[in-house]
């Protein structure tokens, strides 16, 4: 099923050969975000984890925010800054602080599979806790399947040399991200998704650096080796700036369900790179458990949209499945209804095309992801 979805995505890319940027953008979110887990692993083995995460997000966020402000985007209002600060604490400080710390002890491939559960935890919060989405047995089966895969993956922690506590920290960080993504929908925020992401990263990076100082990581100031510096540069440029730019560009031109295919491609790329480049162990149990998680994510993202009478317009949760590093939610109108803020700058033909595209997928689930990679 997962392979067929990726093939279908690639076919749609071939049908749009008039724009060669589309396959390049898909390659970016597949490969750049998939490789961020290994880059984090390389960086934190030679540099303090909170310092590394803080430098990454403060630098990338400041560059993105400054570029958009120079292009004329209005600054967030005071109420919007409060929302940005709260979501930055959930999505970047709690999530990436735990992730960067845990990758000192957990292989990048296993980390990517655990991070792939983000759509699963988001759906649990939306459906079972906050009741913002209608319940379905298919969704429940997908959630159970995904958590069984994670439990199976962690069941051999002692035998395979995988540290249980760091794995649980990654899971807890994912829950914090999902909670922040869901709560964001009821908060005021800027109309510009990239500007919001830049502000979130900038504030999150500043808090992470403050936490690094409090933890004693900056006494003395860390010395970055060549490997750590190159990995950090890749995370800033490849994972955060290029990956997110490609992701946002694709969302404006392709069905959201196609763009969301990175959620189950990124773990495959991360596991392969960890095994081939870093020599990380790979067992049959790990492969089968990872397959359960990926199939679970596929089932969630491919679930049909709720009927017109069901709750709609709850938004898209856009996140780099641990790879990119941005995730923000943006409102989406009920199927078939116009969105003046979104369509003000589009031609009538493009507006109709986007509305038709939205009716063919489930916006509430299609974006989840990315969390901008690791």
Q: What is the pLDDT of residues 281-314, one digit of tens each?
A: 888 988 999 999 999 888 887 776 555 444 333 3
Contacts of 66 (CB under 8 A, 6+ apart): 198
Contacts of 152 (CB under 8 A, 6+ apart): 285, 288, 289, 292
Alpha-carbon distances of 22 from 215, 269, 302, rounded to whole Å: 43, 19, 21
Helices (H), the chain: 2-15, 21-27, 33-44, 49-70, 78-88, 95-102, 108-115, 118-123, 137-154, 164-184, 193-214, 226-234, 243-251, 256-259, 262-276, 284-301, 340-343, 348-359, 363-366
Q: Tell me the CA end-to-end span of the chain in Å, nearest whole number.
A: 25
pTM score, whole prediction: 0.77
Q: How confident is the model at residue 58 (pLDDT cuts 50, 70, 90)?
A: very high
3-state secondary structure 188-226: CCCCCHHHHHHHHHHHHHHHHHHHHHHCCCCCCCCCCCH
Tens digit of pLDDT for each residue in 148-173? 998 888 876 555 556 889 999 999 99
- Rounded to whole angstroms, the Cα distance separating 167 from 110 reads 9
Tens digit of pLDDT for each residue in 69-125? 999 999 999 999 999 999 999 999 999 999 999 999 999 999 999 998 888 888 888
């Amino acid at each position: 099923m997962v392979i067929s979805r990726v093939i279908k995505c690639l076919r749609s890319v071939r049908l749009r050969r008039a724009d060669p940027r589309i396959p390049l953008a898909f390659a970016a979110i597949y490969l750049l975000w998939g490789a961020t887990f290994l880059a984090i692993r390389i960086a934190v083995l030679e540099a303090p984890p909170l310092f590394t995460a803080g430098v990454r997000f403060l630098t990338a966020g400041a560059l993105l925010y400054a570029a958009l402000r120079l292009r004329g985007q209005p600054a967030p209002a005071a109420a919007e800054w409060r929302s940005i600060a709260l979501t930055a604490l959930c999505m970047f400080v709690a999530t990436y602080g735990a992730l960067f710390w845990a990758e000192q002890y957990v292989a990048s491939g296993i980390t990517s599979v655990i991070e792939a559960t983000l759509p699963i935890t988001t759906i649990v919060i939306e459906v079972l806790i906050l009741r913002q989405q209608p319940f379905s047995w298919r969704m429940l089966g997908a959630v159970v399947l995904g958590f069984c895969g994670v439990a199976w993956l962690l069941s051999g922690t002692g035998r395979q040399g995988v540290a249980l506590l760091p794995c649980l920290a990654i899971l807890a960080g994912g829950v914090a991200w999902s909670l922040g993504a869901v709560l964001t929908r009821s908060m005021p925020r800027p109309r510009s998704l990239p500007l919001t992401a830049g502000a979130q990263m900038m504030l999150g990076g500043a808090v992470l650096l403050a936490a690094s100082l409090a933890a004693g990581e900056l006494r003395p100031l860390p010395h970055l080796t060549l490997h750590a510096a190159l990995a950090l540069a890749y995370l800033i440029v490849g994972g955060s700036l290029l990956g997110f730019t490609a992701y946002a560009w694709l969302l404006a031109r392709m069905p959201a369900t196609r763009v969301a295919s990175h959620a189950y491609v990124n773990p495959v790329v991360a596991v392969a790179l960890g095994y081939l480049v870093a020599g990380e162990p790979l067992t049959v149990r790990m492969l089968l458990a990872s397959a359960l998680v990926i199939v679970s994510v596929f089932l969630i993202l491919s679930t049909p949209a709720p009927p017109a009478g069901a709750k709609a317009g709850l938004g898209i949760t856009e996140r780099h499945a641990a790879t990119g590093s941005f995730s923000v939610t943006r409102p989406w109108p009920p199927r078939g209804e116009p969105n003046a803020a979104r369509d003000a700058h589009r031609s009538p033909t493009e507006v109709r095309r986007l509305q038709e595209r939205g009716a063919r997928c489930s916006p509430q689930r299609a974006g989840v992801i990315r969390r901008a990679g690791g």
